[in-house]
Amino acid sequence: MEFLLFLLFLVLLAAASTAGLTTDSRDSADWKPSDNGRRWRSRTS
């Protein structure tokens, strides 16, 4: 029974994502620019 509830949750989450009802709560601080995986610092500071 728990598996079915978990599966239902995943299906509802996928449907909400497809419908555009979900948002990415991460801000730009989570996505620093990188060059081949190495972070670079801004030259303005």
C-alpha to C-alpha distance for 40 and 32, rounded to whole angstroms:
8
pLDDT value at residue 29: 60
pLDDT value at residue 8: 98
pLDDT value at residue 38: 72
pTM for the model stands at 0.51
HSE at residue 29, side-chain half, CA atoms within 13 A, is 1
Per-residue model confidence as pLDDT tens digits over 1-45: 999 999 999 999 999 999 988 876 666 566 666 677 676 666 665
